[in-house]
Amino acid sequence: MKIINTVREMQNHSDFSRMRERSIALVPTMGFLHEGHLSLMKDGKKRANEVVVSIFVNPTQFGPGEDFTSYPRNLDRDLALCQDAGADVVFTPKDTELYQSAYQTYINLTKLPNHLCGISRPTHFKGVATVVSKLFNIVKPHIAIFGQKDYQQLLVIRQMVCDLNFDIEIIGAPIVREADGLAMSSRNTYLTPEQRKQALCLYNSLNKAQELVNSGVIETAKIIDAAKDIISSQPEAMIDYIRICDPDTLEDVQILDKPVRMVLAVKIGKTRLIDNMMLTIESLNKL
Ligand code: PAF
């Protein structure tokens, strides 16, 4: 497994691979890898000749007062995990390699970031879209794989790829969960054992929502109220948002007459967690 720190070396490597007609899958990460990331790498191995994993805690997607400096980092452990998962290259640049002091170009989407996480984190998606487009130009992948846990991020990237004509296929991989259902996240390590138990309220409320839909409830307000009850019963849980929305535009949906995405962000103590699930209507599937 090759470890590359500079833009020039990464671009040269990819040019050489492309010249030999080797396909490249990019798995962009911020490190502190878990099973979710490893499943993206394994997926990449099946889809392409080479898997490039980027490990970069991107400063521009963190707002003031967020956890950029305390974000968990452990490069040695990450490299060992990448090696085990069969990654071919790890691209791990320094901050100054991607953002020189004269840096001034950012990518802004006009609609998708006006919902959900974009409201509580107003500059987040500008930072994500910017760094991902830079990674696309540096790694030159044929495909790029993102987890569906960051559902809004996935939509933002798909839209950006379409708008800016990147010749890259974007894959949205299923959420990987702990045995009890908690969605895997590098931020789960912030949770105390007591908070870890409480964090299950996100998954429980999504399951309750699907149960209600199965029992015939179609008013999203009722489903959201049930989720609020489950989450508010946890002493350290603070709801940022709970929404049931159109899976493409993220506009709120009032009545379920098509599959929708339920998305939520909840703080457990100081740790902000997100999760989501498609809610499907069995009766519609039978039509
Ligand atoms: O999902 C993440 O880990 C990050 O937002 C990403 C896509 C690597 C960009 O920094």
Per-residue pLDDT at 285: 59
Q: Give a yes or no: residue 284 inside a domain.
A: no
In this structure, the answer to whether residues 214 and 238 fall within a common structural domain is: yes
**Domain that includes residue 153, residue range:** 2-173
Last residue of a domain, one of 148, 173, 198: 173
In this structure, the answer to whether residues 83 and 194 fall within a common structural domain is: no
283 pLDDT band, cuts 50/70/90, is: low
> Residue 240: which of 279, 278, 202 has the closest Cα?
202
Per-residue pLDDT at 264 exceeds 90: yes
Whether residue 135 has its Cβ less than 6 Å from ligand 1: no
Per-residue pLDDT at 73: 98
Instruction: Give me ligand 1 centre to Cα 154, in Å.
Output: 10
Per-residue pLDDT at 95 exceeds 90: yes
Q: Give a yes or no: residue 156 inside a domain.
A: yes
Mean pLDDT along residues 93-97: 98
Residue 30 CA: nearest ligand 1 atom is 3
Per-residue pLDDT at 221 exceeds 90: yes
Q: In testing the pocket of ligand 1, which one of 61, 134, 187 has its CB within 8 Å of the most ligand atoms?
A: 61
Domain count of the chain? 2
pLDDT tens-digit map of 20-48: 999 999 999 999 999 999 999 999 999 99
Last residue of a domain, one of 152, 173, 194: 173
Per-residue pLDDT at 240: 98
Instruction: Give me ligand 1 centre to Cα 214, in Å.
Output: 34
Q: Give a yes or no: residue 180 inside a domain.
A: no
- Report the CATH number that the domain containing residue 236 is assigned in CATH: 3.30.1300.10
Instruction: Give me ligand 1 centre to Cα 127, in Å.
Output: 9
Per-residue pLDDT at 3 exceeds 70: yes
pLDDT tens-digit map of 113-137: 999 999 999 999 999 999 999 999 9
Rounded distance between C-alpha atoms, residue 184 and residue 144, angstroms? 20
Per-residue pLDDT at 83 exceeds 70: yes
| CA-proximal residue: ligand 1, atom 9 (nearest) | 128
Per-residue pLDDT at 284 exceeds 90: no
Mean pLDDT along residues 228-238: 98
Whether residue 36 has its Cβ less than 6 Å from ligand 1: no
- CB of 73 closer than 8 Å to CB of 94: no
In this structure, the answer to whether residues 50 and 116 fall within a common structural domain is: yes
In this structure, the answer to whether residues 165 and 228 fall within a common structural domain is: no
Per-residue pLDDT at 151: 98
In this structure, the answer to whether residues 18 and 134 fall within a common structural domain is: yes
In this structure, the answer to whether residues 168 and 196 fall within a common structural domain is: no
Q: 């929708």: which residue's tokens? A: 260
Phi, psi torsion values for 145, nearest 5 degrees: -120, 125
Per-residue pLDDT at 65: 94
> Residue 188: which of 177, 243, 276, 78 has the closest Cα?
177
Whether residue 58 has its Cβ less than 6 Å from ligand 1: yes
- CB of 55 closer than 8 Å to CB of 91: yes
Whether residue 148 has its Cβ less than 6 Å from ligand 1: no
Q: C-alpha angle with apex 15: 92 to 44, nearest 5 degrees?
A: 60
Per-residue pLDDT at 281: 87
Last residue of a domain, one of 173, 201, 226: 173
Residue 58 CA: nearest ligand 1 atom is 10
Whether residue 60 has its Cβ less than 6 Å from ligand 1: no
In this structure, the answer to whether residues 163 and 194 fall within a common structural domain is: no
Whether residue 150 has its Cβ less than 6 Å from ligand 1: yes
| CA-proximal residue: ligand 1, atom 3 (nearest) | 29
Q: Give a yes or no: residue 238 inside a domain.
A: yes
Q: Give a yes or no: residue 10 inside a domain.
A: yes
Instruction: Give me ligand 1 centre to Cα 141, in Å.
Output: 16
Whether residue 128 has its Cβ less than 6 Å from ligand 1: yes
- CB of 130 closer than 8 Å to CB of 136: no
In this structure, the answer to whether residues 134 and 203 fall within a common structural domain is: no
Q: What is the DSSP letter of 59?
A: G
pLDDT tens-digit map of 135-168: 999 999 999 999 999 999 999 999 999 999 999 9
In this structure, the answer to whether residues 121 and 233 fall within a common structural domain is: no
174 pLDDT band, cuts 50/70/90, is: very high
Per-residue pLDDT at 201 exceeds 90: yes
- Per DSSP, the three-state class of 195 is helix
- Written as six digits, the tokens of 67 are 């956890």
Percentage of residues in the chain having pLDDT higher than 90: 98
Q: Give a yes or no: residue 86 inside a domain.
A: yes
- CB of 57 closer than 8 Å to CB of 99: no
User: The dihedral of CA 276, 191, 43, 55: what is its sign?
Assistant: positive
Q: Give a yes or no: residue 181 inside a domain.
A: no
In this structure, the answer to whether residues 106 and 242 fall within a common structural domain is: no
| The model's pTM | 0.97
- Report the CATH number that the domain containing residue 46 is assigned in CATH: 3.40.50.620
Per-residue pLDDT at 282: 78
Q: Give a yes or no: residue 158 inside a domain.
A: yes
- Per DSSP, the three-state class of 235 is coil
| CA-proximal residue: ligand 1, atom 8 (nearest) | 29
In this structure, the answer to whether residues 59 and 194 fall within a common structural domain is: no
- Per DSSP, the three-state class of 260 is strand
Per-residue pLDDT at 286: 55
In this structure, the answer to whether residues 146 and 206 fall within a common structural domain is: no
